[in-house]
Amino acid sequence: MAVLFALALSHLLNDTIQSLIPAVYPILKEQFSLDFVQIGIITLTFQTAGALFQPAIGLYTDRHPLPYSTVIGLIFTVVGTVSLAYASSYGLILVAVTLIGIGSSIFHPEATRSARYASGGRQGLAQGIFQVGGQIGGALGPLLAAFIIVPHGQASLAWFALMVVLAMALMAWTARQQAVIRAHFTAPGANAAKQNTHTRGAILFGLTILTLLMFSKLAYLESFRSFYTFYLIDRFHVSIATSQVMLFVIFISSAAGVFLGGIVGDKIGRYRVIWISVLGPLPFTLLLPYADFFWTGVLTVVINLIMASAFASIMIYAMDLVPHRIGLIGGLFYGLNFGLGGVAAAILGGLTDTIGIEQVYWLCSFFPLAGLLAWFLPRLETADR
CA atoms within 13 A on the CB side of 300: 29
CA distance 27 to 22: 10
Task: Grade residue 183 by pLDDT with cuts at 50, 70 and 90.
Answer: low
Looking at the chain, the whole-number percentage of residues with pLDDT higher than 90 is: 24
User: Measured between alpha carbons, how far is residue 211 from residues 104, 124, 235 in Å?
Assistant: 20, 19, 33
Instruction: Note the pLDDT of residue 132.
Output: 80
CA distance 381 to 385: 6
* Amino acid identity at 300: T
Query: ∠ at Cα 169 (59, 18), nearest 5°?
Result: 65
CA distance 338 to 196: 28
Question: Maximum Cα–Cα distance for the chain, whole Å?
Answer: 60
Looking at the chain, the whole-number percentage of residues with pLDDT higher than 70 is: 91
Instruction: Note the pLDDT of residue 188.
Output: 46
What average pLDDT is seen over the chain? 83
Question: pLDDT of 318-328, one tens digit each?
Answer: 888 888 777 77
As a whole number of Å, the end-to-end CA separation of the chain is 24
Question: With contact defined as beta carbons under 8 Å apart, do 285 and 177 qualify?
Answer: no
Question: pLDDT of 249-272, one tens digit each?
Answer: 887 888 788 778 777 877 888 888
User: Measured between alpha carbons, how far is residue 193 from residues 34, 49, 286, 287 in Å?
Assistant: 51, 34, 39, 41
CA distance 356 to 220: 16
**In the predicted model, is pLDDT for residue 338 greater than 60?**
yes
Q: What is the 3-state secondary structure (H, E, C) of the chain?
A: CHHHHHHHHHHHHHHHHHHHHHHCHHHHHHHHCCCHHHHHHHHHHHHHHHHHCHHHHHHHHHHCCCCCHHHHHHHHHHHHHHHHHCCCCHHHHHHHHHHHHHHHHHHHHHHHHHHHHCCCCCHHHHHHHHHHHHHHHHHHHHHHHHHHHHHHCHHHHHHHHHHHHHHHHHHHHHHHCHHHHHHHHCCCCCCCCCCCCCCHHHHHHHHHHHHHHHHHHHHHHHHHHHHHHHHHHHHHCCCHHHHHHHHHHHHHHHHHHHHHHHHHHHHHCHHHHHHHHHHCCHHHHHHHHHCCHHHHHHHHHHHHHHHCCHHHHHHHHHHHHCCCCHHHHHHHHHHHHHHHHHHHHHHHHHHHHHHCHHHHHHHHCCHHHHHHHHHHCCCCHHHHC
**In the predicted model, is pLDDT for residue 195 greater than 60?**
no
Please give the backbone phi and psi of residue 323, each rounded to the nearest 5 degrees, phi first: -70, -15
**In the predicted model, is pLDDT for residue 191 greater than 60?**
no
- Among 355, 3, 326, CA closest to 11: 3
The predicted model scores a pTM of 0.68
**What is the rounded radius of gyration, in angstroms, for the C-alpha atoms of the chain?**
20
- Among 331, 346, 334, 354, CA closest to 94: 346
Please give the backbone phi and psi of residue 360, each rounded to the nearest 5 degrees, phi first: -65, -45
Residue positions counted in the chain: 385
Higher pLDDT, 195 or 359: 359
* Mean pLDDT of the 34-46 span: 85
Question: pLDDT of 49-85, one tens digit each?
Answer: 877 777 777 777 777 777 788 899 999 999 999 999 9
Task: Grade residue 209 by pLDDT with cuts at 50, 70 and 90.
Answer: very high
* Mean pLDDT of the 129-154 span: 81
Task: Grade residue 95 by pLDDT with cuts at 50, 70 and 90.
Answer: very high
Task: Grade residue 185 by pLDDT with cuts at 50, 70 and 90.
Answer: low
* Mean pLDDT of the 103-112 span: 84
Question: With contact defined as beta carbons under 8 Å apart, do 107 and 50 qualify?
Answer: no
CA atoms within 13 A on the CB side of 170: 23
CB atoms within 10 A of CB 192: 9
Instruction: Note the pLDDT of residue 190.
Output: 47
Alpha-carbon torsion 371, 111, 325, 385, what sign?
A: negative
